[in-house]
Amino acid sequence: MQIGISINNMGPLSTKEVITRQALKAEQSGLDHIWVLDHIAIPPDQSEGSGGRYVDPLATLAFLSGITSTIKLGTSVLVLPYRPALATAKWVASIQELSSGRLILGVGIGWMEAEFIVTNASLKTRGSVTNETIEFFMECFANDIVSYKNQQFIFSPRPKRPPILIGGNQNAAIQRVMNYGDGWMPMIKDHDSLISKCQDLQRLRREEGKDKAIIIPLMALDFSDLSKVVDQLSALEEAGCTGIEHFQSSKTEYDFNSTVDCLAELKSQL
């Protein structure tokens, strides 16, 4: 069971210095991955907690790839429908290259209407656009020469494709995992429901002859009873869950560091 944590690429703590210290703390503590969030245009009436400040996730991971050496780097999740497919594929390949293959690409369809308005993207077609973008990524990472909009071009650098994890809890997300993804990033608070859905997904993968899914749910763990958390994660692992991302906004660096220490202790008991 792999253990990761989201770092503060949003809000008041999202400075170069803090992001650097958080990433190095997580790596030095033996955690498996760190994750960044994606919002591109927060309206004022939805800015509580962040102040509307989000450092771009791909830029953040490109920066972190140069100051870390072992910990995996993930997007949780990158909203594909309002990002240009080719430019995003180039970002993804470049980060994968510069990080020596440590990227985990969590992707999603998005939900915040304001962001679709300002990027001139369609909420109605966001599912199909996401599917098309993932298919384009697959083509780019599989071929030196790619044809796009009736134009051939060289896709380079072309490192090994990062695993693509699909965000979302609905049936459409599960189907997208089956059709396009290597895994799933749900956010389901009910423990029994999450176990059941992990079992169902892994069964579907087996029945269709596909590789076991990577499943990394987003969870806000309660460290007041560590033995209970160990039992919960062990049950999830038994159900086919391969890791977790502790997803909880840290208001101070002390909070973040304390959480990492708890996660490291938790990892030692699994």
pLDDT at 261 over 90: yes
Instruction: Quote the pLDDT of residue 22.
Output: 98
HEC secondary structure over the chain: CEEEEECCCECCCCCHHHHHHHHHHHHHCCCCEEEECCCCCCCHHHCCCCCCCECCHHHHHHHHHHHCCCCEEEEEEEECCCCCHHHHHHHHHHHHHHCCCCEEEEEECCCCHHHHHHCCCCCCCHHHHHHHHHHHHHHHHHCCEEEECCEEEECCCCCCCCCEEEECCCHHHHHHHHHCCCEEECCCCCHHHHHHHHHHHHHHHHHCCCCCCEECCEECCCCCCHHHHHHHHHHHHHCCCCEEEECCCCCCHHHHHHHHHHHHHHHHHC
Range of the structural domain that residue 90 is part of: 2-269
Instruction: Quote the pLDDT of residue 180.
Output: 95
Instruction: Quote the pLDDT of residue 248.
Output: 83
State the pTM of this model. 0.97
Confidence class for position 258, pLDDT limits 50, 70, 90: very high
Confidence class for position 150, pLDDT limits 50, 70, 90: very high
CATH at residue 195: 3.20.20.30
* Count: domains in the chain: 1
Confidence class for position 35, pLDDT limits 50, 70, 90: very high
Mean pLDDT of 212-227: 96
Confidence class for position 124, pLDDT limits 50, 70, 90: very high
pLDDT at 69 over 90: yes
pLDDT at 191 over 90: yes
Instruction: Quote the pLDDT of residue 120.
Output: 97
Instruction: Quote the pLDDT of residue 86.
Output: 98
Confidence class for position 200, pLDDT limits 50, 70, 90: very high
Instruction: Quote the pLDDT of residue 112.
Output: 96
Mean pLDDT of the chain: 97
Instruction: Quote the pLDDT of residue 244.
Output: 98
Instruction: Quote the pLDDT of residue 249.
Output: 80
Interval 153-187: pLDDT, tens: 999 999 999 999 999 999 999 999 999 999 999 99
